Amino acid sequence: MTTPAAPEERTAPVGRRALLAALGLGAIGVVAGAGLQRRLSSVIGPLTDGTPFADLLPTNERFRIYTVTGSLPWRPPEAYRLRVGGQVERLLDLGYADLRARPPVSLTRDFQCVTGWRVSDVEWTGVRLRDLLDEAGAADAAFVRFSSYDGAYHESLTMEQARRDDVLVALDLRGKPLTRAHGGPARLLVAPMYGYKSLKWLEAIEVTDEGPTGYWEERGYAHDAWVGRSNGRNDPPTS
């Protein structure tokens, strides 16, 4: 992006602190959020979801395809495995057919990226994360951590967040199997939080007391990424 760095990014820490003090406590989130959002948009690529003529649609409502590695990995459904481990009574090692054999759960929510774009009423179908945790006999640990087979992205939720109704291991997006670009064959969908919590190309789920962790969180974003109540943004909630 060509946007010049904001003053608070160019000045020394002392200058930044003075600026924040001048603006008052309430402005800290907004200022920090703006700088961070610029950083996120510059790291990710300009890929779109490939919808033909998407740019000609009257709304700007389309997914941007994000990948921090610069490429789109892929495991075909036949080769796909999802492991659930850590503090569990029994390890799960599930294939795509195992996930498909479970009663599907669907939900429809807006999807919002912390950089500002939002897609209304997106339907997701998959398996409730809570059901997989129960099946594995997850201990009452503090966190659930997620890793991606892209080899780089990772995320975490508190156990309480992970057990919410609106957190899925998603298999379908708008009634069709998740594409490679959207993180198939299975990704996380954390409906009430900003998109960066919804890890793509899901490979492993770990129940642990160690955390929290997260790729973007390590770069300054909020762990508790509620839409409209974090990262200095006041978007309408998605749930």
The DSSP H or E segment spanning 133 is: helix 129-136
Task: Please state, in angstroms and rounded to a whole number, the distance separating the CA atoms of residues 89 and 92.
Answer: 10
Q: Which is nearer to Mo ion, 155 or 203 (CB)?
A: 155
Closest approach of Cβ 14 to ligand MTE, in Å? 32
The answer for residues whose C-beta is within 8 angstroms of residue 21's C-beta and 6 or more apart is none
- 124 binding Mo ion? (CB under 5 A): no
- 83 binding ligand MTE? (CB under 6 A): no
Q: Work out which of 84, 136, 199, 225 binds ligand MTE, going by CB under 6 A.
A: 199
Task: Please answer whether residues 84 and 91 qualify as being in contact, where contact means their C-beta atoms are separated by less than 8 angstroms.
Answer: yes
Residue 186 binds which of Mo ion, ligand MTE, none (CB < 5-8 A, kind-dependent) = none
Nearest to 64, CA basis, from 38, 35, 41 = 41
Tell me, residue by residue from 171 to 200, as one string, x for binding to Mo ion by CB under 5 A and - for no binding.
Answer: ------------------------xx----
**Alpha carbon of 141 to those of 38, 155, 199, 217, 230: distances in Å?**
35, 16, 21, 20, 24
- Three-state DSSP state, 126: strand
- 64 binding ligand MTE? (CB under 6 A): yes
Q: Which is nearer to Mo ion, 113 or 189 (CB)?
A: 113
- 223 binding ligand MTE? (CB under 6 A): no
- Strand pairing class (202-208; 81-86): parallel
Q: Which is nearer to ligand MTE, 16 or 182 (CB)?
A: 182
Q: Work out which of 31, 82, 105, 113 binds ligand MTE, going by CB under 6 A.
A: 113
Task: Please state, in angstroms and rounded to a whole number, the distance separating the CA atoms of residues 48 and 55.
Answer: 9
What residue is closest to ligand MTE based on CB?
195
Interface residues with ligand MTE (CB under 6 A) are 63-68, 113, 148, 150, 153, 182-183, 195-196, 198-201
